Structure 1
């Protein structure tokens, strides 16, 4: 979900100031290249400079694993594998484009379903002089199966994708082209690193997991949980594997997937993240062996993740925006409601017509950069969080699932740049609250 409210006059600047020393002033692609042992300084095609260090996303959608071989790799060739979810594909597409500009060869692997969406969105512009190649592997789910069943999708990915990746790596390495020298994979698909270890000699770095029962259900359900001071306090019900679905079987699948991802980090050389040391210093101190490269520049080509509302909540949101009596831009996707059609309150569009605009898509990064933006109502996905923080925009937080609740805690409790909504006895965020 994305809703933007506007000031009549530009707001005061609130941009984040990051360190500007030599240690951290570098492009994202140069940072990755130096850590992988490649000399990129001789290349002139540089990505935009990223000022500042970067912390580790404790539970986030923009963390990546890297793997490389010991021997002399010659020309670097990265195999990049995102988790097949829209908001997780975008950061790796962006990073891959910047790496390709540094003359690093990239093979970007998507499932067939997401491969077509990336091609449709980016077209030929993604090629980067032929160094960035998009390939696909078969989908984890069959045609007609519900992709919203997250537990089933997660389980099938771990069953189906490793075999396809092995076949692809063998095919590339057996050809006359440059062999795969590094595997870069999203944190949420840790099984990819098991494939990398099986097919080559790789270094490892260790990251401990959480000590909870194998069912994933916390032993203490009502006590708030916190790691070191200055990290978010979170209720056990908001743990990633518990807030995604209410089904115990799905929760167990998601827990074991999360546990497996943490264990997989033991075989990774580095964890690459889209964050900054200034935003998450305590998280960075917890896991120091990471490669910070954020914040990555925003991309609006593939849009954003949106919460699906029931009819009552949708109408309360509409009426709440009307009650603000402020200009607003509301991104209303076709699938934002549970029904087939959006049911706006009676005469709502006529009443807000002179100050409110509803659209099916908006270039979020460009909108947030506008000086008239006064507030960003966001689901608190990490990409949106980074974009809002980078542009100094205050948040109203409407998290839905996964890491969004943790991000809300950072925004409201640690950084103090946003507010939380309170739900009523029905579990609805009412128009007066909005």
Structure 2
């Protein structure tokens, strides 16, 4: 029997990429694969500082963590995405071959050398480095299969005159459909329409070409049933989700300390009573909107768990000031949550979410209904799936000033909690997700197929 493959996993160093790729690494390790996880030195410091378990390579942790510099000093601002991407690309590629050589030498024998490199978006250069060294390559996207499909179709959208070839911006106001079995989408919500800005569109097209050329598989944290139309776009797309490592795993990948006290607090709440509010690792809220949210949670008169995360720069808290008159006596406010444990807690009633894909897939697997509050890019498309396709949630309506008012928050939460069809639909999709990763399920079989391919 041939030895199990050795994967080198390289995420782009932001939490929305590091987290799912670490989960993927834990799943590979659970299947007996050898895994080396490459973090930047800065990311590793943040993860170690946030975790009570220091991220060392102890016997309990099957994942070997290695680091390279990202080209910036600790004091540099990493929240400017274009500059950050440029620094990573200018620094890491030339150092990677030596690191691979060191990892292989440390493993001693030929059979346990790195056999496959897995990267996330913007790290395609590593697949090119691996290709020159005779190492296979695959891509693990932290977004939905629909995001993958959008990236894969970018050239076609340019050719059809739907988006501008230089900026990626829509050429006119119209809805589009990437394939007949996919929901309609607004080109203004394509995945590159985020904080990266239009100057990043041309490099992104080049990145997609690199990933196509050197990535044999584009692994997706999804299932066939969730996004059948998107998965039909390319034979490279392989759904292996939802990615759920053991909760007992010693490897965490958060940049902030998870507040475990919220689990004891949840234990004291009635079943299906708690409103969980979290907007992920990047979204920033306008102060007036923050005020309405706080006062809306008060109006509800229900228990709530609200994540108000620290700043992304790790130097100071975001300037969120709880408004005058906010009581908050029914709720608990924390800076970061052990989200999968929270969503799977019996006290959960609903999830007020930004609809980032990691949160979306975790919510689906937990069977918790959503209230959708997207901020940018593909989060709007994820909301369309949640509300219109899977029918497991609702959206909010904004007033004439573009605000989601406290009254709207109260109204929608109460409406959602009274909707038995949405609750039943949520439980149905939870069962579908669980069946996929059970032994013999489609995602589980696809993962075996991928591991066997890496072995060859």
Bigger RCO (CA 8 Å, 6+ sep): 1
- Structure 2 counterparts to residues 6-405 of structure 1, below 5 A: 76-120=5-49, 121=51, 122-123=53-54, 127=58, 131-173=62-104, 176=108, 178-200=112-134, 202=136, 208-211=152-155, 212=158, 213-218=164-169, 220-245=171-196, 250-297=197-244, 302=254, 304-335=280-311, 341-349=319-327, 352-353=328-329, 355-405=330-380
Q: Is the 8 A contact 2:356 2:379 kept in 1?
A: yes
Matches of 1:421 and 1:255, distance apart in 2: 34
Matches of 2:312 and 2:95, distance apart in 1: 34
The superposition leaves residues 118-152 of structure 1 with CA deviations (integer Å, 9 ceiling, x where unpaired) of: 33435358645574211100024333322111122
1:391, CA displacement in angstroms?
A: 1.5
Matches of 2:43 and 2:92, distance apart in 1: 14
Greater fraction of residues in helix: 2
Q: Is the 8 A contact 2:168 2:201 kept in 1?
A: no
Q: Is the 8 A contact 1:243 1:402 kept in 2?
A: yes
Matches of 2:310 and 2:170, distance apart in 1: 40
Q: Helix, strand or coil for the counterpart of 1:106?
A: strand
1:235, CA displacement in angstroms?
A: 1.7
1:95, CA displacement in angstroms?
A: 2.2
Matches of 1:204 and 1:332, distance apart in 2: 35
Q: Is the 8 A contact 2:354 2:373 kept in 1?
A: yes
Matches of 1:203 and 1:372, distance apart in 2: 42
The superposition leaves residues 214-240 of structure 1 with CA deviations (integer Å, 9 ceiling, x where unpaired) of: 413335231112212342322222222
TM-score (norm 1): 0.73
Q: Count the aligned residue pairs.
A: 356
Match of 2:414 in 1: none
Matches of 1:373 and 1:201, distance apart in 2: 45
Q: Is the 8 A contact 1:190 1:260 kept in 2?
A: yes
Matches of 2:154 and 2:181, distance apart in 1: 19
Match of 1:426 in 2: 401
Closer, same or farther in 2 for the Cα pair 1:127/1:293, shift >3 Å? Answer: farther
Q: Helix, strand or coil for the counterpart of 1:308?
A: coil
Q: Is the 8 A contact 1:87 1:383 kept in 2?
A: yes
Q: Is the 8 A contact 2:7 2:115 kept in 1?
A: yes
Matches of 1:271 and 1:92, distance apart in 2: 13
Matches of 1:143 and 1:192, distance apart in 2: 23
- Structure 2 segments unaligned to the other structure (5+ residues): 140-148, 159-163, 259-279, 410-456
1:416, CA displacement in angstroms?
A: 1.8
1:339, CA displacement in angstroms?
A: 7.5
Q: Helix, strand or coil for the counterpart of 1:154?
A: helix
Q: Is the 8 A contact 1:209 1:263 kept in 2?
A: no
- Structure 1 segments unaligned to the other structure (5+ residues): 1-37, 40-73
Q: Is the 8 A contact 1:396 1:418 kept in 2?
A: yes
Closer, same or farther in 2 for the Cα pair 1:100/1:384, shift >3 Å? Answer: same
Q: Is the 8 A contact 2:56 2:65 kept in 1?
A: no
Matches of 2:312 and 2:402, distance apart in 1: 18
RMSD: 3.0
Q: Is the 8 A contact 1:241 1:255 kept in 2?
A: no
Matches of 1:259 and 1:237, distance apart in 2: 21
Closer, same or farther in 2 for the Cα pair 1:216/1:413, shift >3 Å? Answer: farther
Q: Helix, strand or coil for the counterpart of 2:387?
A: helix
Q: Helix, strand or coil for the counterpart of 1:159?
A: helix
Q: Is the 8 A contact 2:174 2:186 kept in 1?
A: yes
